[in-house]
Amino acid sequence: MLFQGYIDKKIADGCSEDTLKSYEIYLGRFSDYLNSRGIADIRNMDELVVLGFIDTFTRYSPSVIHNTLCSLRTFFHYLFRNGFVSRDFAYIVPHDGYRQRTKVPSSYPKEDVETLLKSIDRGNPKGKRDYAIILLAARLGLRAQDICDLSFNNLKWETNTIELLQEKTGEPIVLPLLEDVGLAIIDYLKYARPEYEFTNAIFLRLAPPLGKLQAPTLHSIVTQHMRTAGIKTQDGKKHGPHALRHSLASALLEENTPLPVISEILGHRNTAATAVYLKIDVNQLRTCSLEPPPFDWNKGPEVF
């Protein structure tokens, strides 16, 4: 009950679904450990129990260990502040010094993106729908969930713009309704979209049960067409709609587009979120390279 009470508080605090799931996983393991030790009442918990649980982390990755320790601290603070325990065990939970490394975004050259688009057979309803979806990701950098949530109200034909609230950030964004994107959407709406009155969403399943597409399906759509186009994906390299978003950022950097402009296009709150794409701007990185000092193989390195 205490664990569920803590989760309910986090829900009231407005935690995201992903964060809540993480708390449930990490604290669920702690609950299982307490049960395995025969501790039915958390007031019977002591320092040795907490440290014993932490000793079981050896099989986990550094990121999982870090997240579990953080979850324990916040949970123990909650127990103490609400009078469920007489001691705040958060202060005996060790700090691991873990720092998450920013990953290099997965991106593809402009030539691969164009090959992908040209490979889609638009002579059938699925091809018309998939082409419009992939254009929205590749030309405008829309996230998968925002594409799924796109409705007729978001299309402003009179101003040639797409206006929406981003699902991830809750921030509004206005993007140009590019000619090829607009034509692809019109082609899909006229000749491919099923008649379905129960949703205002633009992109639907084409086979029963009809309904709005979900984000994981978009990942499968992009992956399927990349394979059809013969685009090779290296191990660990992403190949879904988010990779097309990364590819757009990479292409804009190659064209020397200022970082604030790219931030605005991608709907980032600030340029710090966009700066990660500098890691894939190889041409600009080359300008930062330094010439190695001269080395005389006969004398060896100079000693100063």
3-class SS string, 158-206: CCCEEEEECCCCCCEEEEECCHHHHHHHHHHHHHCCCCCCCCCECCECC
Nearest alpha-carbon partner for 89 in 104, 74, 103, 101 = 74
Contacts of residue 19, Cβ cutoff 8 Å, sequence gap at least 6: 10
Q: Check 122, 139, 245, 246 and give the catalytic one.
A: 245
* φ/ψ of residue 215, rounded to 5: -55, -45
> How confident is the model at residue 289, as a pLDDT?
47
* Angle formed by the axes of helices 17-36 and 2-12, nearest 10°: 170
* 63 and 98 Cβ atoms separated by less than 8 Å: yes
In this structure, which amino acid lies at residue 73? Answer: R
Query: Is 143 assigned a catalytic role?
Result: yes
Exposed, middle or buried by CB within 10 Å (0-12, 13-18, 19+), for 218? buried
Q: Check 103, 168, 227, 237 and give the catalytic one.
A: 168
Query: Is 277 assigned a catalytic role?
Result: yes
> How confident is the model at residue 297, as a pLDDT?
58
For every one of its 304 residues, what pLDDT tens digit does the chain have, with 9 covering 90 and above?
A: 678 888 888 888 777 777 888 888 888 899 999 999 998 888 888 999 999 999 988 778 888 888 889 999 999 999 999 889 888 999 889 888 776 555 555 678 889 999 999 999 999 999 999 999 999 999 998 989 999 999 999 999 999 999 999 888 888 999 999 999 999 999 999 999 998 988 999 999 998 889 999 888 998 999 999 999 998 876 556 778 888 888 888 777 777 767 676 677 677 666 555 555 554 454 554 444 455 666 555 655 555 4
Question: Domain spanning 2-92: which superfamily?
Answer: Tyrosine recombinase, N-terminal domain (1.10.150.130)
Query: Is 242 assigned a catalytic role?
Result: yes
Q: In what order do the strands lie in the sheet with 172-176?
A: 155-156, 161-165, 172-176
Nearest alpha-carbon partner for 203 in 120, 132, 117, 116 = 132
pTM for the model: 0.60
Nearest alpha-carbon partner for 157 in 192, 199, 126, 202 = 202
Distance, CA of 131 to CA of 121 (rounded, Å):
8
Nearest alpha-carbon partner for 185 in 266, 130, 142, 115 = 130
Max distance between CA atoms of the chain, in angstroms, equals 81
**165 forms bridges with which residues in the sheet?**
172
Query: Is 77 assigned a catalytic role?
Result: no
Q: Check 10, 143, 193, 239 and give the catalytic one.
A: 143
User: 110-286 adopts what CATH topology?
Assistant: hpI Integrase; Chain A (1.10.443)
Distance, CA of 8 to CA of 20 (rounded, Å):
9
* φ/ψ of residue 263, rounded to 5: -60, -45
**CA-only gyration radius of the chain, Å:** 26
* 284 and 256 Cβ atoms separated by less than 8 Å: no
Nearest alpha-carbon partner for 108 in 228, 292, 241, 295 = 241
Q: Check 139, 239, 242, 246 and give the catalytic one.
A: 242
Domain spans of the chain?
2-92, 110-286
Query: Is 26 assigned a catalytic role?
Result: no
212 DSSP 8-state letter:
B
* 171 and 185 Cβ atoms separated by less than 8 Å: no
Q: Check 6, 26, 188, 277 and give the catalytic one.
A: 277
* Angle formed by the axes of helices 2-12 and 62-81, nearest 10°: 100
